[in-house]
A and B are shown apart, each in its own frame.
Chain A
Amino acid sequence: MLIVKEWKKIVFSLMFVLYVAVTVAMYYTQLGGELHTPEPEPAPGMSDYGTEVKEDAAVIMPAATEELLREYLMGYYVTYPFFYKEVKLKENDEARMAEILGELTGLSREELDGYTDFRDSGYDITSDENGNPVYTYRGAVYPEYEMQPVTYEHFRELMGEVDGMLGGNSSYALKSLVNTFSRVPKTYETALAEYQTMMQPANLGKAYTRLYCDYMGIILAVIPVFAAAFLWMADKRAHMQALVYSRKISSVKLVCIRYFALVSVMMLPVVLTYLHMIVKVEGLYPGQSISWLPAIGLGLYWLLPYVLSVTAVAVFLSELIGPMFAIFVQCIWWFLSLQESQLVGSITRWVLLLRHNRLGGEEIFARQFGDFLWNRGFYLVLSAVCLMLAVLVFDKKRGGAFARKERWSVACKNIFRNRKNKSAA
């Protein structure tokens, strides 16, 4: 059977050995510490219980205003459409921005534009006696101002307008305003309530699963492209492509079987390390009832789309242009996603890499659950589309479509060569 042949080919390749090593290393180095001791119950009187995101107008308003003032004085504003982007405003928008800042700080546009002492926080570089560079931190310098009495509702309206002027996806967008500007210290009561929520049978398994998926997602969002490219190149190196093209099997069946073989084998170390985690967590909380079924469902819906979509994109691009191009595109995509994602609370509808780098945070995840479902659904659809396109390209290649293109390219080169020869003559 073809599938067994494909499985054997992948499992006995150097790439698979490396893939297993990387997966297991990631699991042990990142999650190992969490699986040694159970999560401690918060005790009263501790100095630090961490921070929480809380919609507190008294915290959000001054923090967001200071950031807006800083960006106004810098002359550009940072947004995250898919990646980091600096936005410069047109004159009329800049004038409106000054008006908004005036409403919040009491500073007029003349005062803002005439302020020449602004300096952003950062590092100064000097040299010591040996000529080695020495870095010194310096704080930001802003014009003096006092927050004006603005209601929180009106403040939110202004921030919505600011986000609109910047083209959306800025820190001032209503959906990210609270998360960005309102991190407050957690109280003992909040920490205890969060702990008790996490320890419920339905939640404990999900909490560990989220952390597992957070770490494993980092590698699953990029490594499958290497496996797909490796297999594609293995065919080319063994001069097997012409032989494969001439086989009787249909293109749909062949591409899908190879794709399924890749995906299933790559999920193998993931499933095994996940099972190992279940055993370890059960050992950490003896006597505690943990409901694993919903947790497994969550983990599967979180991780499977990574493997499916990255592999499908890789198969399609390798077939269409080449494996090096597939690697290039996937690495850039992964890098941008890695840069964009915050450790917790940055699950959006489109981002490739989903992060939830904490054991608790049930309420943060619940708030983003709709976007989580949408996101993973989108990547499942993307996988199906890329797989269909891969089948189409493969089928065209079998029919000689791209070979004709190559012949056309050679013909063009010959025309130019002939012209050069004629002109030389």
Chain B
Amino acid sequence: MRAKIYLEIAKTNLRHNFLLPFAAAVGILLLAGLLYGTTALDAIETAKPLEFFLCFIGAALLTPLFLPEQDKDIRDVVLSKKVNYGIVCVIRLFYNLVALILLVAAFGLKMYLGECVITWTHIWGAVVTALFLGAIGLFAAGISGNVVIGFMAVILFYLANYGLKGKMGVFCLFSMSFGQMGQKWWLLLGAALLIAAGTYRQMRAK
């Protein structure tokens, strides 16, 4: 019975809240194919489109996670339901995460077919980078109660990474492009904390 309710929530959210962010993410993916060469790249060159551009897929999918509840009327309705709002957020998070992995994997497959040097580490690194950037947006949107602030935080964090390059330490988005792989675990940990904190704040917001 409970599974049926969750499935219904997922279906409704997919129909109303998923298509536009997904279309934006697909747009970013197609643009990445146009902007970057995807043939015969070495390991470092392969990492560049994955880290420098595909990370925006995470921002497109995760930042607007709380967008429907920005409308106070919808928020009141959602909070009045028996199903916990946190579960609704987890369901949304789940299908967006699946979409993120599939989109990054699709681009990875294109690079593989183009005879680029691409390993599972690249795919893992790209997914975690996109997840972390998305988590920044989600956190900022959750804290401020405004998705626009979330997107602004994404751009500012990206810009800080772009300008400061190696000085971002373990939270550098472009570490694979600089030849380091290990610190993606920090991004994963950071993403988990940011998502948890942002969702908690959103649930508690009045």
Our pick among B27, B44, B64 for the contact of A324 (Cβ within 8 Å) is: B64
Query: In the complex, which of the residues B31, B42, B71, B146 contacts A125, with contact meaning CB atoms closer than 8 Å?
Result: B42
Instruction: Assess whether A132 is in contact with B149, with CB atoms less than 8 Å apart.
Output: no
Instruction: Judge whether B20 is part of the interface by a CB distance below 8 angstroms.
Output: yes
Q: Tell me which of B20, B36, B70, B144 contacts A14 (CB under 8 A).
A: B144
When distances are taken between beta carbons in the complex, the residues of chain A under 8 Å from B151 are 226, 327, 331
B43 with A125: CB separation less than 8 A = yes
Docked-complex contact A76 and B37, CB < 8 angstroms: yes
Docked CA distance A28–B7 (Å): 51
Is there an interface contact between A84 and B148, defined as CB atoms closer than 8 Å? no
**Chain A contacts of B117 at CB under 8 A?**
125
**CB closest residue in chain A, given B45:** A122
A76→B156 CA distance, assembly (Å)? 35
Q: A residues within 8 A CB of B162?
A: 338
Tell me which residues across on chain A come within 8 A of B166, comparing CB atoms: none
* Segment of A152-160, A229-237, A371-379, A398-406 in the binding face: A229-237
Task: Provide the residues of chain B in CB contact with A336, threshold 8 Å.
Answer: 35
Q: Determine if A389 is an interface residue (Cβ-Cβ < 8 Å).
A: no
Chain A interface, number of residues (Cβ within 8 angstroms): 40
Output the least CB separation between B28 and chain A (Å).
8
A369 contacts partner chain B, Cβ-Cβ < 8 Å? no
Cβ contact of B149, chosen from A18, A86, A123, A222, cutoff 8 A: A18
Residue of A nearest to B23 (CB): A328
B12 at the interface (CB under 8 A from A): no
Mask for A317-358, Cβ within 8 A of B = 1, else 0? 000000110011001101110110000000000000000000
A331 contacts B148, CB within 8 Å? no
Q: Is the CB of A124 within 8 A of B149?
A: no
**A375 CB to nearest B CB, Å:** 22
With beta carbons under 8 angstroms apart, the residue of B31, B71, B152 that contacts A223 is B152
Give chain B interface residues in 123-152, CB to chain A under 8 Å: 144, 146-149, 151-152
Query: Whole-angstrom distance between the alpha carbons of A132 and B125 in the complex?
Result: 13
Give the shortest distance, in Å, between B39 (CB) and chain A (any CB).
Answer: 8
User: In the bound complex, do residue B72 and residue A219 qualify as a contact, i.e. CB atoms below 8 Å apart?
Assistant: no
The 0/1 profile, CB within 8 Å of A marked 1, for residues 22-59 of chain B is 00100110010011110111111100000001001000
A86 vs B37: C-alpha distance when bound (angstroms): 7
- The answer to whether the Cβ of B181 comes within 8 Å of any Cβ in the partner chain is yes
Task: Chain A residues near B71: list those with CB within 8 A.
Answer: 236-237
Q: Contacts A86-B37, A222-B155 given; indicate if A135 touches B149 (C-beta within 8 A).
A: no
Closest residue of chain A to B24 (Cβ to Cβ) is A328
Given A135-B43, A237-B71, A218:B159 Cβ within 8 A:
yes
Contact for A124 among B35, B39, B43, CB less than 8 A = B43
- In the complex the two chains form, what is the Cα distance from A236 to B72 in whole Å? 11
**Cβ of A22 under 8 Å from chain B:** yes
Q: Name A5-31 residues within 8 Å CB distance of B.
A: 14-15, 18, 22, 30
**Chain B residues positioned under 8 Å from A259 (CB to CB):** none
Secondary structure class of chain B's binding surface, majority of residues = helix
Contact of B146 with A123 in the complex, beta carbons under 8 Å: no
Known interface pairs A124-B43, A133-B43, A332-B31; A237-B70 also in contact (CB < 8 Å): yes
Determine if B44 and A135 form an interchain contact, defined as CB atoms under 8 angstroms apart. yes
Q: Write out the residue numbers on chain B whose beta carbons fall within 8 Å of the beta carbon of A124.
A: 42-43
Is B148 touching A230 in the complex (CB atoms < 8 A)?
Answer: yes
Give the distance in Å from the alpha carbon of A120 to the alpha carbon of B149 in the complex. 43
Residue from B24, B42, B60, B163 having most chain A Cβ neighbours under 10 A: B42
Check: A83 CB closer than 8 A to any chain B CB: yes
| A88-127 interface code vs B (CB 8 A; 1 in, 0 out) | 0000000000000000000000000000000010111100
The answer to whether B72 touches A237, judged by C-beta atoms less than 8 angstroms apart, is: yes
Q: Which residues of B contact A218 (CB under 8 A)?
A: 159, 163
Q: Across the interface, do B35 and A83 meet the contact criterion of CB distance under 8 Å?
A: yes
Contact call A324/B144, Cβ cutoff below 8 A: no
Contacts of B182 in A (CB 8 A): 132
CA of A2 to CA of B39, assembled, Å: 57
A344 CA / B206 CA spacing, docked (Å): 49
Q: Which residues of B contact A236 (CB under 8 A)?
A: 71
Given A135-B179, A338-B162: A327 in contact with B148 (beta carbons within 8 A): yes
Asked if B119 is at the interface (CB within 8 A of a chain A CB), the reply is yes
Residues of B within 8 A of A237 (CB): 70-72
**Min CB distance, A300 to chain B, in Å?**
24
- Give the distance in Å from the alpha carbon of A74 to the alpha carbon of B121 in the complex: 26
B152: which A residues are within 8 A, CB to CB?
15, 18, 223, 226
Interface residues of A (CB under 8 A from B): 14-15, 18, 22, 30, 74, 76, 83-86, 120, 122-125, 132-133, 135, 218-219, 222-223, 226, 229-230, 233, 236-237, 323-324, 327-328, 331-332, 334-336, 338-339
10 residue pairs of the A-B complex, CB under 8 angstroms, read A76-B39, A84-B35, A122-B42, A124-B42, A125-B43, A133-B121, A226-B149, A237-B70, A237-B72, A331-B151
Excluding A123-B45, A124-B42, 9 further A-B contacts by CB distance (< 8 Å) are A76-B39, A120-B42, A122-B44, A125-B42, A218-B163, A223-B155, A226-B151, A230-B146, A324-B64
